[in-house]
Amino acid sequence: MELNLAGKSVIVTGGGSNIGRAISLAFAREGCRVTIAEIDEAQGRKVAGEAEKQGAPAAVAVRTDVTRWESVQAMVKGVEGRFGGVDVLVNNVGWTLDRLFVEKTREEWEKEIQLNLWGMINCTRAVLDGMIARQAGAIVSMGSDAGRMGEFREGVYAACKAGVIALSKSLAREVGRYGIRLNVVCPGMTMPESDEEISGLSMWAADVNRQWQTPEMKARIAKVYPLRRVARPGDITGAVVFLASDAAGFITGQTLSVSGGYTMM
């Protein structure tokens, strides 16, 4: 299958940890010029070095706070100046802590909304003018099966991911006339395979989320998936790379679950 991604300029937000890291390296192997927009700049630089070793003609890390419009604008302007434009944006940043809705603090709710929804809004808006001017572009956003069906102990996170799905569909209708496509990939639970794959700021570094990473808990979680295992970061990358590529050139406004059959819709 001809993906025609070589030489394309790709931004991956949160590209230093877990799924984002795997996505950054997958685009690197396709010969893309990769920008890792990462709040943890040191982790981003580490992955940028890995990306160059795996085939990226250029890979840079740019410290980016996706919740701050000015930070996102500066990152995108830098990419446009460095690489001439943005061909692909992957809205990957995501964050939640596993708690019941009534047990969460308002600060946690607000952080979830800022990172999971406002981050996607900010980054998408920042790349659209350039994509419209060039009459081309692909935006792939990470949703979640939580956003498709609701999920226990992930109420606000699920609401944000449902918003990512709905906004992607709405914008696909608005900007399709300019050759811009928007699609969503919804992973199920996807855990890093080691601490080397995540930043200290990753949600998977939080104590409340580490309880899910024991062999015993992974075995229990796997039972709810028809494929009987928990996803690894590399399981998600194929769908993202495909939807960003020319091979998916007539696909827009779609939501694809990559979750081992957790949802089937």
* Angstrom distance (rounded) from CA 26 to CA 88: 13
Paired residues of 190 in beta bridges: 231
**Does 262 qualify as catalytic in the annotation?**
no
φ, ψ (nearest 5 deg) of residue 33:
-90, 115
Structure tokens at 160: 């944000």
Q: Return the residue matching tokens 């192997």.
A: 29
Which residues have CB under 8 Å from 28's CB, separation 6+?
34, 50, 51, 52, 54, 55, 56, 59
Separation in Å, CA 52 to CA 1, 41, 61, 64, 111: 23, 16, 12, 20, 32
Q: 10 Å Cβ neighbour count for 123?
A: 28
Separation in Å, CA 53 to CA 29, 117, 236: 9, 33, 21
Catalytic residue (choose from 157, 178, 225, 262): 157
> Annotated active-site positions, please?
157
